Structure 1
Amino acid sequence: MSNKLYPPAGRKKRRLKRAVLFVLVFFLLIMAGGAAGAYYVWQSAVKPADEISEEKVAVSIPLGSSLSFISQKLEESGIVKNATLFKYYVKYIGEGNFQAGEYMLSPSMTPKEIIAALKEGKVMGLADGKVSIPEGYQLTQIAEVIAAATDHDPQDVLKSINDDAFVKKMIAAYPAVVTEAVLNENIRYPLEGYLYPATYEVPHGEQSVEELAEEMIAKTDEVVKSYTDQIKASGMKIHEFLTIASLVEEEATGKTDRKKIASVFFNRMKIDMPLQTDPTVLYAKGAHQDRVLYKDLEVNSPYNTYKVKGLTPGPIGNSGRDSMEAVLEPAQTDYLYFLASSAGDVYYSKTLDEHNALKRKYITNNQ
């Protein structure tokens, strides 16, 4: 006979009740904690990054920027606390359709104020008699910046810069850099990619559109000439050099290794593979949109690198020194593909299968 003692039935029931109550309270606490956490996250999403900040930050939003890219750019500039939170807040309230441009934003702005500013799409003319041309800007955007600084209509500015007489004047003034290659009939804007991204003095009422544009072209001439020996050694012509530098610039984000991007383009050209870079499709369409759709890849244009092999007829925007140097000293890789995740991280791969697997992991599953 066993000597084991059994507790009375009533005591067993009380213990069972306490256990059930404990489990219930535990789950209620988890739910309450989740609700509190969600509330905290929401409050973080709707508040400024720094309510007392008086800082003003210039933020450049290139043509064709996705919501993920814009959110990441705002976080890197200190305008929002968290890129992912801002992105989902924008989606939650049903906003979007942000405009490319140069903005002056502050960490003290609420997300709603930031969204309103980005929807307005006004370019920024600096108050102290200067204008800033960001890297990656295209001629239409530069025309808007010049127009704002000189009190002209953007279309009139664009017309002046594209004027045949002005273009030929620039070829004559800067023959080592601005060559007759810019006169190719397939080129949309002859001087696209030749107006250097920098900050320029603009004495109010004392400088014409042509004078300011020429100052930017002269700066390009100066910068490109500093790479003369390297460009010759590469076997590229200057127009080709500026064209591929513009492709690297347009693909670049804050986290992008430009030298790896350049290596992908060179690797593709070596095997006669189309460059298939989305910014060229957007340039071909002349449109701003968050992402390129499959139907967009069918646009009939010499700038569409999904349909036409090799480089575009000319640059699709301006490029800075980082992208130029990446083209002259690309990384030595076997990569043929790359993609950027919603967080702005860039992933490289050697085969289409690897690329598609990365796309499913970082793009498809996050949409």
Structure 2
Amino acid sequence: MSNELYPPAARKKRRLKRAVLFMLVFFLLIAAGGAAGVYYIWQSAAKPADANNEESVGVSIPLGSSLSSIAQTLEENGIVKDATLFKYYVKYKGEGDFQAGQYALSPSMTPDEIIVSLREGKVTEAVDGRLVIPEGFQLTQIAEVIAAETDHDADDVLKALNNDAFVKKMMTNHPGLITEEVLNEQIRYPLEGYLYPATYELSDPSRPVEDIAEEMIAKTDEVVKMYTDRIRASGMTVHEFLTFSSLVEEEATGKTDRKKIASVFYNRLKVDMPLQTDPTVLYAQGEHKDRVLYEDLEFDSPYNTYQVKGLTPGPIGNSGTDSMEAVLEPEQTDFFYFLASPAGDVYYAKTLDEHNALKRKYITNNQ
């Protein structure tokens, strides 16, 4: 039939109807596809990271850990596929009241099984005869791990690690690693940062604390020796190197580029600007918190980098090779600020105005 039977107005109306119908169908298909995508993602959230991998992995959940940090730790250890997805799954389930402690978890566990373990403080498929010391752990936390896996009390472990005679013995046994710098009266724990994060065999739960600790110190000595020439070339002492590495380690997350964080610290040091890193405030206070408040920044301590310029008197925890490498080979940037969003993403800025804008966008608006 010829279009001449239809006046121009009618033809235009017919084309408009077809266009509207097409757009309606198009958006319905998008909606259906989106719904299917959400359903697929949510179904995936309820599945194990790797159903065929039943290997037990030691995972430590420190006191005061937020849900975000717990989820990130699980992702870094391969226990869950995606930290953000696990976090929202936990919230959807109305869970989140998890227990601190040492866990032996597996990638074959479903998120629901992981939730039960963390909620009840239940260790699944316990790994006997092993000490798991995570990166970023402080001496007090390491003492708790040793106590949990041995016949020793946590307070007694900490006393043994800080015993003057033991510290001086370690200085004698590992002279290239532990120097007079650890005896600085401002340092809280002389051996803080010197017990390397790794998994250690423990066949005898009555083994002396000193022997356990020296194995960890010897491991740190072994690792640091790989960097001896580069540390010397940097102009830092080994103690300063471990201190700097610990600051990077404590600020880092699984999504963080440690080399960029190191560059921010270097840039601040060059212009005599305080490092202003929150983990030092928490270390100064001896507490674990989800958030550092403005009033906390006034806490009087040589470890508070909001009050004191330069590095802290000593490490604020142990550090792994990723953070050590970052200190020795930082990225070259002109950033002076960074912040981590609740999702664990890190944003960098050159100026305070840019930093405050990022804070309003990613922190303030999400509280």
Alpha-carbon contact 1:265-1:336 (below 8 Å) kept: yes
Residue 223 of structure 1 and its aligned partner are, at CA, apart by 1.9
Shift of 1:46: 5.4
**TM-score scaled by structure 1?**
0.82
Distance 1:54 1:176, change over 3 A: closer
Structure 2 gap segments, 5+ residues each: 7-22
Q: 1:310 to 1:118 in 2, by over 3 A?
A: farther
Q: Distance in 2 between matches of 1:260 and 1:63?
A: 28
Bigger shift: 303-312 or 69-78?
69-78
1:350 aligns with 2:324: no
Q: Answer whether contact 1:67 1:290 (CA < 8 A) is retained.
A: no
The residue type paired with residue 297 of structure 1 is: L
Q: 1:300 to 1:33 in 2, by over 3 A?
A: same
Residue by residue over 1:278-337, the C-alpha shift from the partner in whole angstroms, topping out at 9 and shown as x without a partner, is 111221222222232333323332222122221111101111222112111211111111
Residue 314 of structure 1 aligns with an amino acid whose one-letter code is G
Identity %: 77
CA-atom RMSD in angstroms? 3.7
Shift of 1:222: 2.2
Tell me if structure 1 keeps the 8 A contact 2:281–2:297.
yes
- CA displacement at 1:269 relative to structure 2: 1.2
Q: Which residue is 2:139 aligned to? A: 139
Residues 58, 105 of structure 1: 8 Å contact kept = yes
In the alignment, which residue of structure 2 is the partner of 1:286?
A: 286
Corresponding position of 1:236: 236
1:58, CA displacement in angstroms?
3.1
1:304 aligns with 2:304: yes
Aligned-residue offset at 1:91: 3.6
Aligned pairs for 1:31-50 within 5 A: 48-49=48-49
CA distance in 1, matches of 2:269, 2:41: 47
SS in 2 for 1:186: coil
The aligned counterpart of 1:318 is 318
Change (3 A) 1:24 1:94: same
Q: Distance in 2 between matches of 1:288 and 1:154?
A: 18
Q: Is the 8 A contact 1:135 1:197 kept in 2?
A: yes
SS in 2 for 1:356: helix
1:290 alignment partner AA: D
TM-score (norm 2): 0.82
Alignment size in residue pairs: 360
- Give the letter for the 2:290 counterpart: D
Q: Cα–Cα, structure 1 residues 143 and 285, in superposed 2: closer, same or farther, change >3 Å?
A: same
8 A contact 1:337–1:350 mirrored in 2: yes
2:86 alignment partner AA: F
Per-residue CA deviations over 1:130-172 (Å, capped at 9, x if unaligned) read 3222211111121122223322111111111111111111122
Task: Provide the rounded CA distance (Å) in 1 between the counterparts of 2:122 and 2:301.
Answer: 29
2:337 equivalent in structure 1: 337
Q: Compute the displacement of 1:34 (Å).
A: 8.6
Residue in structure 2 matched with residue 200 of structure 1 by the alignment = 200
Distance, in Å, in 2 between the alignment partners of 1:29 and 1:330 is: 48
Partner residue, 1:10: none
Match of 1:362 in 2: 362
One-letter amino acid matched to 2:365: N
Partner-residue secondary structure (3-state), 1:290: coil
